[in-house]
């Protein structure tokens, strides 16, 4: 009897272990050979990565290393994949901090989703964060956003394949809000000195704290094939900019270039649309443009912040407005009474009283001019055939829906 009970116990234990191994595809999502992270940070990052794999069927593993045993970083990622995860779809990213290089390896359908451009953008976010923890978190967050927009087309491990009569489920396209991991000043075009960037960041953070509305500055060298309007809106939405549950804020995007290739765009969302309406945005654009042409980038961005602070200044109390109007009305009445009490001149009905005798004589034959003929020529004004989004004809404003499905109001142009 005892032997049967022991046998049954081991059988149950074996079944449980098989269930656990089948459900847990990845053992370690974060590999930290340099002890950079605290245990709580590893736990938080691992939980986020596990949620991504459980939801989308793709393992995202990040390694921070300094040794590769003679292999390249790419070879290290490929060799380590099977040891780190048994998921058929996944990506292993490794950062060699001693050589200051990174690389990655994709398996299964992750290879089609995590293209070179996508991973380069992920690592740009990683580099721009002030801490390794913030950088890896930004990579995981962007991975989640990418997988939302490009879900797997085949069933993940552990799922049954649909029969031929089964209709595949349509992927959701609803925008999912993310937390911002980038700073309020992102100078990818490297137009600002470190001191200027820090000073602008301090002003943006102070403005955000005071007005409960984020204000941001972004410079880039490449719009990645998008129009400036699309790039600016997407950068705002997919990088988690905006304050509070409504993501209230304003962001200015600038791409440098030769004459006619510079792009400047101001996008707003939430309360930012109500506070920075079209007239104010066009004033911001007009004040920044000449400074940018002169390559006074720091002055241009400070002018943008100055204008934003001016717009958000406290309004005058209605009571004070009433008092000022009352004093103005009383003062006007007193001045009018004072002036009308003095008669400095007598009104003359005819102009002849003001003319000097003999000063104007008209001859009988010169009292009329004869109009003979006229010749009028019309020349059509040449039309500018270039697109409004690519011309130097001034700023262009609109309220529109971005790729995320959210409403933005923006003003921008090229010059």
Over residues 306-336, the pLDDT tens digits come to 999 999 887 655 566 666 777 777 777 777 7
Residues 325, 394: Cα–Cα separation, whole Å: 39
pLDDT band of residue 89 (cuts 50, 70, 90) is: very high
* 142 and 65 part of one domain: yes
pLDDT at 386 > cutoff 80: no
Determine, yes or no, domain membership for 370: no
Range of the domain at 103: 24-149
Residues 125, 119: Cα–Cα separation, whole Å: 10
The pLDDT, as a whole number, for residue 86 is 86
Helix extents (H) in 87-150: 110-113, 116-128, 132-149
Residues 402, 271: Cα–Cα separation, whole Å: 17
CATH at 143: 3.10.310.50
pLDDT at 3 > cutoff 70: no
The number of domains in the chain is 2
Determine, yes or no, domain membership for 80: yes
Q: Higher-confidence residue: 104 or 168?
A: 104
pLDDT tens-digit series, residues 154-172: 444 444 444 333 333 344 4
* 140 and 222 part of one domain: no
Determine, yes or no, domain membership for 157: no
Q: Higher-confidence residue: 348 or 205?
A: 205
Determine, yes or no, domain membership for 97: yes
Determine, yes or no, domain membership for 244: yes
* 206 and 279 part of one domain: yes
The pLDDT, as a whole number, for residue 6 is 45
Which of 40-54, 243-257, 373-387 comes out lowest in average pLDDT?
A: 373-387
Q: Can you give the three-state secondary structure of 157-187, one letter per residue?
A: CCCCCCCCCCCCCCCCCCCCCCCCCCCCEEE
Residues 171, 140: Cα–Cα separation, whole Å: 20
* 138 and 211 part of one domain: no
Residues 273, 236: Cα–Cα separation, whole Å: 14
pLDDT at 284 > cutoff 70: yes
Q: Which residues of 160-184 are buried (b: 16+ CB within 10 A; e: fewer)?
A: eeeeeeeeeeeeeeebeebebbbbb
* 99 and 221 part of one domain: no
The pLDDT, as a whole number, for residue 16 is 44
* 288 and 410 part of one domain: yes
Q: Is 216 exposed, middle or buried (0-12, 13-18, 19+ CB in 10 A)?
A: buried
Collapsing DSSP states into helix, strand and coil, what is residue 132? helix
Q: Higher-confidence residue: 407 or 288?
A: 288
Among 122, 149, 176, the domain boundary falls at 149
Determine, yes or no, domain membership for 387: no
Percent of the chain with pLDDT over 70: 72
Residues 93, 59: Cα–Cα separation, whole Å: 11
Question: 57 and 26 in contact (C-beta within 8 Å)?
Answer: no
The pLDDT, as a whole number, for residue 399 is 85
Determine, yes or no, domain membership for 131: yes
Question: 103 and 64 in contact (C-beta within 8 Å)?
Answer: no
The pLDDT, as a whole number, for residue 229 is 93
Residues 207, 11: Cα–Cα separation, whole Å: 64
Q: Who contacts 8 (Cβ-Cβ below 8 Å, separation ≥6)?
A: none
pLDDT at 233 > cutoff 70: yes
* 211 and 276 part of one domain: yes
Residues 135, 12: Cα–Cα separation, whole Å: 43
* 241 and 299 part of one domain: yes
The pLDDT, as a whole number, for residue 400 is 87
* 39 and 131 part of one domain: yes
* 210 and 144 part of one domain: no
Residues 31, 8: Cα–Cα separation, whole Å: 38
Q: For strands 101-107 and 185-187, give the pairing.
A: unpaired
Which of 82-96, 186-200, 248-262 comes out lowest in average pLDDT?
A: 82-96
The pLDDT, as a whole number, for residue 300 is 96
* DSSP for residue 85: B
Q: Six-digit token pair at 338?
A: 């004072």
* 207 and 139 part of one domain: no
Q: Six-digit token pair at 135?
A: 């950088």
Residues 223, 264: Cα–Cα separation, whole Å: 11
Q: Six-digit token pair at 273?
A: 């649309």
Among 149, 166, 195, the domain boundary falls at 149
Of 90, 102, 105, the C-alpha closest to 157 is 90
Determine, yes or no, domain membership for 291: yes
Q: For strands 30-32 and 59-65, give the pairing.
A: parallel
* 99 and 198 part of one domain: no
Collapsing DSSP states into helix, strand and coil, what is residue 105? strand
- Residue 394's φ and ψ, nearest 5 degrees, are 110, -175
């Amino acid at each position: 009897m005892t032997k049967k009970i022991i046998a049954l116990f081991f059988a149950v234990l074996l079944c449980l272990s098989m269930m656990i191994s089948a459900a847990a595809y990845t053992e370690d999502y974060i590999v930290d050979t340099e002890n950079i992270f605290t245990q709580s940070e590893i736990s938080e990052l691992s939980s986020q990565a596990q949620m991504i794999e459980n939801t989308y069927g793709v393992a995202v593993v990040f390694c921070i290393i300094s040794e590769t045993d003679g292999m390249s970083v790419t070879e290290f990622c490929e060799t380590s994949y099977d040891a780190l995860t048994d998921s058929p779809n996944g990506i292993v990213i490794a950062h060699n901090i001693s050589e200051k290089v990174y690389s990655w390896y994709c398996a299964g359908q992750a290879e089609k989703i995590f293209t070179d451009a996508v991973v380069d953008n992920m690592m740009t976010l990683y580099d721009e964060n002030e801490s390794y923890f913030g950088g890896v978190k930004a990579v995981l967050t962007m991975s989640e956003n990418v997988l939302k927009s490009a879900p797997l087309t085949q069933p993940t491990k552990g799922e049954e394949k649909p029969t031929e009569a089964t209709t595949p489920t349509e992927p959701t396209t609803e925008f999912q809000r993310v937390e911002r991991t980038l700073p309020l000043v992102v100078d990818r075009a490297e137009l600002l000195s470190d001191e200027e960037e820090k000073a602008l960041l301090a002003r943006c953070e102070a403005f955000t704290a005071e007005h409960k509305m984020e204000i941001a500055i972004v410079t880039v060298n490449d719009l990645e094939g998008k129009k400036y309007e699309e790039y600016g809106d997407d950068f705002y939405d997919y990088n988690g900019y905006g304050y509070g549950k409504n993501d209230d804020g304003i962001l200015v995007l600038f791409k440098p270039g030769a004459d006619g290739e510079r792009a400047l765009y101001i996008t707003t969302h939430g309360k930012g649309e109500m506070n920075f309406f079209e007239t104010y945005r066009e004033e911001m654009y007009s004040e920044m443009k000449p400074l940018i042409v002169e390559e006074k980038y720091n002055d241009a961005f400070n002018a943008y912040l100055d204008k934003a602070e001016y717009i958000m200044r406290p309004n005058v109390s209605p009571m004070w407005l009433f008092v000022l109007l009352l004093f103005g009305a009383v003062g006007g009445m007193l001045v009018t009474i004072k002036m009308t009490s003095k008669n400095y001149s007598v009104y003359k009905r005819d102009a002849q009283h003001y003319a000097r005798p003999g000063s104007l004589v008209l001859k009988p034959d010169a009292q009329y001019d004869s109009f003979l003929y006229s010749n009028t020529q019309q020349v059509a004004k040449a039309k500018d055939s270039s697109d409004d989004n690519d011309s130097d004809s001034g700023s262009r404003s609109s309220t529109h829906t971005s790729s995320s499905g959210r409403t933005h109001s923006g003003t921008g142009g090229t010059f």
